Amino acid sequence: MDLTRIDVAAPSRPYPVLLGEDLASRLKVHLDEIRFPDRRILVSSPRVWRLHGARVSSGFEALALIVVPDGERSKHLRTVSRIYDGLIAAGADRGSGVVAVGGGVVGDMAGFAAATYLRGMEVAHVPTTLLAQVDSAIGGKTGVNLREGKNLVGAFHQPSAVLMDPSFLRTLDRREFRAGLYEVLKYAIACSAPLFDRLDGDFDSIARRLAPALLPVIEECCRIKARIVTEDERDQGVRRVLNFGHTAGHAFEAVTRYRRFRHGEAVAYGMLVAAELGHRRRRFDTGARDAFARLLWRFGGLPPIRDLRTSELMEVITRDKKIVDGRLHFVLP
Ligand code: GLY
């Protein structure tokens, strides 16, 4: 089996991202290889576990399995509390390790629990959605939403490894897969013109999840993310380009109480806002803006926004984490 290894040389903890078909059934081997703690606690969601639990747990000995709901609406402190309860019941200690098997929400919550339980234990991510594979599982951002805003509570806590199996993506529903593609488009606009051309040129095959078209795209996003996190682990500089689309995007999520959008969909709207701002400031020419919007709309429809109030969106935006010294930092293309 082909295994691709991408190294993230984060100053606080260097770690590998491994990408390989059917890697899910060999987690133990890979975790043993990196000397991940033997006392392992799995954290997953009901849906992911129903679909993939048998494969993941074959030959894998875990102290416990903690199943928590996923979806943005569940990404709050009460759910993290359930993970703490499970860790206590399992007798987890600082020498134990959390293995998070799921999408971005499970990864963010399990990562946050690992960052804070007993002041920190190791975590390995096994991302099962496109969005988590190309973005959220790499880079150590963990946390939860508050009613007032997205990811307002959290910690940087780098994983010990990220283990990716693209076969997980076959069971994603179309909307979830598409939501991940918007984050891929983010990388294309913010970091890589060749990736944009590849997305545009191979669009049909990528949308059909054909491995020869999709895998290089996932790999390229992981390489970009690894490079950026290596350079700027804590969002002080270049990493902020990865917040492209997220300022307005997070506001769209918060004002709809995390019920209307998948994260990637809100980011898609956020990118359209940022593209328009960039265009008005003459930093994004008309041709580029239109090519970007054309590709974005090719992905399919987005949930409606006509009923949302600008004043409410602006109120949330002014509480954004990206405010530094009272000034909102907006990433423009
Ligand atoms: N999702 C953006 C970042 O990890 O920095």
CA–centroid distance for 155 within its chain? 15
**pLDDT at residue 130, as a whole number:** 98
> pLDDT band at 210, cuts 50/70/90?
very high
Which residue has the least CA distance to atom 3 on ligand 1? 242
Whole-number Å distance, alpha carbon 18 to ligand 1 midpoint, is: 19
Structure confidence by residue, pLDDT tens digits, 267-312: 999 999 999 999 999 999 999 999 999 999 999 989 999 999 999 9
Chain segment 104-155, per-residue pLDDT in tens: 999 999 999 999 999 999 999 999 999 999 999 999 999 999 987 889 999 9
Say what the pLDDT of residue 59 is. Answer: 85
Give pTM, 2 decimals: 0.95
The conformation of residue 256, written as its DSSP 8-state character, comes to T
pLDDT above 70 for 167: yes
**Which ligand 1 atom is nearest residue 138's CA?**
4
Q: Could you identify the atom of ligand 1 that is nearest to the CA of residue 239?
A: 5
- Closest alpha carbon to 196 in 103, 20, 333: 333
Q: What is the pLDDT of residues 58-78, one digit of tens each?
A: 889 999 999 999 999 999 999
Name the residue among 298, 292, 251 with its Cα closest to residue 275.
292
Residue 89 CA to ligand 1 centre (angstroms): 32
* Ligand 1 center–CA 58 separation, angstroms: 32
Residues flanking ligand 1, CB < 6 Å? 135-136, 139, 141, 239, 242
Examine the pLDDT at 2 and tell me if it is beyond 70: yes
Integer angstrom CA distances of residue 49 from 56, 100, 262: 9, 11, 20
Ligand 1, atom nearest to 229 Cα:
5
* pLDDT over 80 (residue 4): yes
What Å distances lie between residue 249 and 57, 112, 177, 287, CA to CA?
Answer: 36, 22, 18, 23
Distance 186 CA to ligand 1 centre (A): 11
pLDDT above 70 (res 1): no
